[in-house]
Amino acid sequence: MDEGIITGSCHCGAVRFEVSRPDFAVSCNCSICRRLAALWVYAPPLEIRLFAPEGTTRAYSWGVGEIAFHSCSTCGVCTHYIGLAGDRVAVNLRLADRPEVVEQLRVRHFDGANSWAFLD
């Protein structure tokens, strides 16, 4: 398998993704990311391939509604989020098919709860 590409899916496999191996992953401490225990990789929309046919996810957005978090409609796993301005996409690397590839990545900690800045 190409170690330059990370693939993953929700638990039931209805939603899948492919993304180029990033320089780092992001752990955010905002109220939703903490609860999701997500590990994100962000990219422009054309650099992440999502395989989520219509109806396979449900979206959740709150507050000012800048981001829609998508979860599989079948198994409930949060797979990705989409910036509603069309400027960004992130996938949850905790869903990687090969976790050992993700374990090799540097994790940056983002303070989404207070300062909106990286803590490193």
Q: Cα 101 to chain center, whole Å?
A: 16
- pLDDT for res 57: 98
pLDDT at 115 over 60: yes
- pLDDT for res 85: 87
Strands 24-28 vs 106-111: parallel, antiparallel or unpaired: parallel
State pLDDT tens for residues 22-81: 999 999 999 999 999 999 999 888 889 999 999 999 999 987 788 999 999 999 999 999
Spell out the residues 6+ positions from residue 1 whose beta carbon is closer than 8 angstroms to its own: 98
- pLDDT for res 1: 53
What count of other Cβ atoms lies within 10 Å of the Cβ of residue 107?
13
Spell out the residues 6+ positions from residue 53 whose beta carbon is closer than 8 angstroms to its own: 14
What count of Cα atoms within 13 Å lies in the side-chain half-sphere of residue 2?
8
> Which class does domain 5-115 fall in?
mainly beta
C-alpha–C-alpha distance, residues 110 and 71, integer Å = 22
